[in-house]
């Protein structure tokens, strides 16, 4: 009997290797503060660490422990992973991956660098960035620029499997970090400026076989939306919910890309992500709501089916790409405990929703300069319930007109740079852009693999101000800024909050900063080799807490430096806006690791 039981147990274990097992392992591993096992820190996207050896009292004494060059220049988004004695570091195109032996003088255990056609570079709209690696089941997952998703043996760096997720010749590129949920590797796609019909795709963890694919727009069977069971704001979305919001076949080149971060609630078995801008950027070429671009998605990871959706910016007129991360936190709102989802959208609104059903709880501006909308209609009985009220003056519907003074700029009050959440303070720490724009749409025709933008932009700080960024603390229960630290440039680095009562972030000039989580008071700064657009992470090794961040100026804000552009309207308007950046930093690609003496 005992033997039989044991045999059964072995069988169950064997079956679940790489399956539910991977998920359980990952979830458990992500709760070990010594490691940093996911690109987002944990499934909830908190980017919060229980480590507190480094704290508000001693962070001023932080010093650099060691450094590492990735051997690549241009924008370094994302953060390394740490699992036990090994750190995994990634870089932008050509996407080198290093395994570093933390136990032996940080020697390089292995390096993987894919061979990729450099012709992918010109189809990467906003620098050759890569947002990081995923780990599960003894494998490291890399999403290459050319959209290849590759599984590497974490011990040797040898390729276990690879899958081609898209076609760079159509403008489809890979920039996002994969996320492993249960026995699936999820991966989004970039190409909203090239008329890609974007989607989220799941591959089998062990074989790399495509499991399901869910587009952002198209017929119900392509978008994996159920007319009855998928809801928006509590109501079934109905048949052809996407198709009927597009004119003709425009949805086939409709954008709605999926290159942001992914979060997951194991209890609800739902994962969350945002879809991006509809294409083109010229709104008059695509009448309708352009569903489900600009949408928060809650899907079942096993099937890809959508449980609920919420479109934040119907019929986008400003490129307020909805891809930013969804942070899952349980909060008491109006005296009621809620499983919330908090999201800081490019459109300048900070949303709090009930993540079980997509109920809209809070929608408030997290930058007071946001002017394109007077706010979201929160009246449940209104026919426009849940929609932002557009301020006529800042509509860009009219083509060939330069629409001036719109705030935020296209890169949003926040872009991909992820916020952090501290369960201790109950606050969200948000790296923001404080930038406005002029936006002139024009007619553009589609050619596969060619830019399909249809707007000329210029960017600048809000009138009368010189700072282009703020690092803020946000109360998502009320939708209020608690404190705000000015920064000269957009804060394009991801935040890290810790149990030490501190929050870390990086600046485009290259400073790593630590501030007091309660007050925002600066406690430490260090000038790293290049501008920081990476995300701060922390780990413990050998009894010591370390904080690490990638430097390497670039990304959309730094595209002028990264790609050597000087025309102010180049880089989709960012080059002129961030021209002063060259007085502070230049290209790089380095990891800086900090610790206490």
Q: Which residues are catalytic?
A: 319
Give the DSSP H/E element, type plus range, for residue 484: strand 480-487
Phi-psi region of 120 (alpha: psi -120 to 50; beta: other; left: phi over 0): alpha
For strands 502-506 and 480-487, give the pairing: unpaired
What are the phi and psi torsion angles at 28 (to 5°)? -65, -45
Nearer to a copy of itself, 97 or 390 (CB): 97
| Closest by CA position to 54, among listed 420, 551, 517, 550 | 517
Shortest reach from residue 506's CB to a copy of itself, in Å: 13
Q: Which is nearer to a copy of itself, 327 or 587 (CB)?
A: 587
Question: Site residues (CB under 8 A) for a copy of itself?
Answer: 61, 63-64, 66-73, 96, 98, 105-108, 111, 510, 526-530, 551, 582-592, 597
CA dihedral 592, 571, 188, 268 (to 10 degrees): 70
Query: Is the peptide bond prior to 375 cis by the omega test (within 30 degrees of 0)?
Result: no
How many CA atoms lie within 13 Å of 534's alpha carbon, on the beta-carbon side?
39
Structural contact between residues 46 and 329, judged by C-beta atoms closer than 8 angstroms: yes
Radius of gyration of the chain (CA): 22
Q: Which residue, 47 or 90, has its beta carbon nearer to a copy of itself?
A: 90
Q: Least distance to a copy of itself from the beta carbon of 554, Å?
A: 11
The alpha carbon of 157 is separated from its chain's Cα centroid by a whole number of angstroms, namely 26
State the burial class of residue 597 (Cβ atoms within 10 Å of its Cβ: 0-12, 13-18, 19+).
Answer: exposed
Q: How many CB atoms lie within 10 A of CB 292?
A: 32
**Smallest separation (angstroms) from a copy of itself to the CB of 66:** 4
As measured in angstroms, the least distance from the Cβ of 68 to a copy of itself is 6
Quote the least distance from Cβ 67 to a copy of itself, whole Å: 4
Give the nearest distance from C-beta 85 to a copy of itself in angstroms.
16
Nearer to a copy of itself by C-beta: 383 or 597?
597
d(CA 407, CA 180): 36
Distances (CA, A) of 312 to 61, 232, 233, 297, 325: 43, 11, 11, 11, 14
- Minimum CB separation from a copy of itself for residue 291, in Å? 43
CA distance 550 to 588: 10
By C-beta, is 246 or 489 nearer to a copy of itself? 489
Output DSSP code: residue 354. Answer: E
The C-alpha atoms of residue 237 and residue 499 are separated, in whole angstroms, by: 41
User: What phi and psi values does residue 579 have, to the nearest 5 degrees?
Assistant: -60, -35
Which CB, 98 or 344, lies closer to a copy of itself? 98
Q: Give the nearest distance from C-beta 34 to a copy of itself in angstroms.
A: 21
Environment class of residue 520 by beta-carbon count within 10 Å: exposed (0-12), middle (13-18) or buried (19+)?
A: middle
State which residue, 187 or 593, has the beta carbon closest to a copy of itself: 593
For a copy of itself, give the closer residue by CB, 101 or 424.
101
């Amino acid at each position: 009997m005992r033997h039989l039981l044991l045999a059964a147990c072995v069988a169950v274990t064997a079956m679940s290797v790489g399956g539910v097992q991977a998920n359980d392992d990952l979830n458990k591993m992500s709760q070990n503060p010594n490691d940093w096992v996911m690109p987002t820190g944990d499934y909830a996207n908190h980017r919060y660490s229980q480590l507190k050896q480094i704290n508000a009292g001693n962070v001023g004494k932080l010093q650099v422990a060691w450094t590492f060059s990735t051997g690549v220049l241009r924008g370094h988004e994302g953060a390394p992973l740490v699992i036990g004695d090994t750190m995994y570091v990634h870089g932008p195109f050509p996407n080198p991956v290093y395994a570093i032996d933390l136990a032996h003088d940080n020697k390089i255990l292995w390096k993987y660098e894919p061979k990729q056609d450099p012709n992918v570079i010109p189809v990467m709209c906003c620098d050759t960035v890569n947002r990081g690696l995923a780990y599960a089941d003894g494998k490291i997952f890399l999403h290459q620029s050319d959209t290849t998703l590759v599984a590497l043996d974490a011990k040797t760096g040898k390729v276990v499997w690879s899958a081609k997720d898209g076609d760079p010749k159509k403008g489809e590129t890979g920039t996002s970090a994969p996320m492993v949920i249960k026995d699936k590797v999820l991966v989004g796609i970039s190409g909203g400026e090239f008329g890609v019909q974007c989607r989220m795709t799941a591959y089998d963890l062990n074989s790399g076989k495509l499991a399901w694919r869910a587009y952002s727009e198209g017929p119900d069977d392509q978008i994996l939306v159920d007319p009855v069971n998928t809801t928006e704001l509590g109501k079934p979305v109905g048949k052809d919910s996407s198709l009927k919001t597009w004119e003709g076949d425009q949805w086939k080149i409709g954008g709605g890309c999926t290159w942001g971060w992914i979060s997951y609630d194991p209890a609800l078995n739902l994962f969350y992500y945002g879809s991006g801008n509809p294409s083109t950027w010229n709104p008059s070429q695509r009448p309708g709501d352009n569903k489900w671009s600009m949408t928060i998605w809650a899907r079942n990871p096993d099937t890809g089916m959508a449980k609920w959706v919420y479109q934040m910016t119907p019929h986008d007129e400003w490129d307020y790409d909805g891809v930013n991360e969804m942070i899952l936190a349980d909060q008491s709102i109006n005296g009621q405990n809620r499983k919330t989802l908090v999201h800081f959208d490019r459109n300048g609104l900070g949303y709090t929703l009930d993540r079980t059903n997509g109920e809209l709880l809070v929608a408030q501006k997290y930058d007071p300069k946001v002017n394109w909308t007077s706010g979201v209609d929160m009246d449940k009985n209104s026919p426009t319930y849940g929609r932002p009220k557009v301020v006529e003056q800042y509509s860009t519907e009219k083509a060939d007109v330069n629409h001036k003074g719109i705030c935020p700029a296209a890169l949003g009050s926040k872009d991909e740079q992820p916020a952090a959440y501290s369960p201790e303070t109950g606050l969200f720490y948000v790296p923001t852009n404080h930038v406005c724009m002029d936006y002139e749409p024009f007619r553009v025709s589609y050619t596969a693999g060619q830019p399909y933008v249809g707007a000329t932009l210029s960017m600048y700080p809000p009138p009368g101000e010189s700072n282009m960024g703020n690092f803020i603390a946000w109360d998502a229960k009320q939708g209020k800024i608690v404190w705000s630290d000015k920064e000269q440039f957009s804060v394009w680095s991801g935040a890290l909050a810790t149990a030490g009562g501190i929050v870390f972030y990086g600046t485009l000039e290259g400073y790593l900063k630590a501030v007091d989580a309660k007050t925002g008071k600066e406690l430490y700064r260090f000038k790293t080799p290049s501008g920081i657009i990476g995300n701060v992470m922390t780990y413990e090794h050998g009894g010591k807490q370390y904080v690490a961040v990638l430097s390497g100026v670039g990304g959309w804000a730094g595209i002028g430096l990264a790609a050597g552009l000087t025309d102010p309207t180049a880089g989709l308007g960012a080059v002129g806006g961030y021209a002063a950046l060259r007085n502070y930093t230049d290209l790089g690609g380095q990891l800086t690791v900090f610790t206490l003496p």
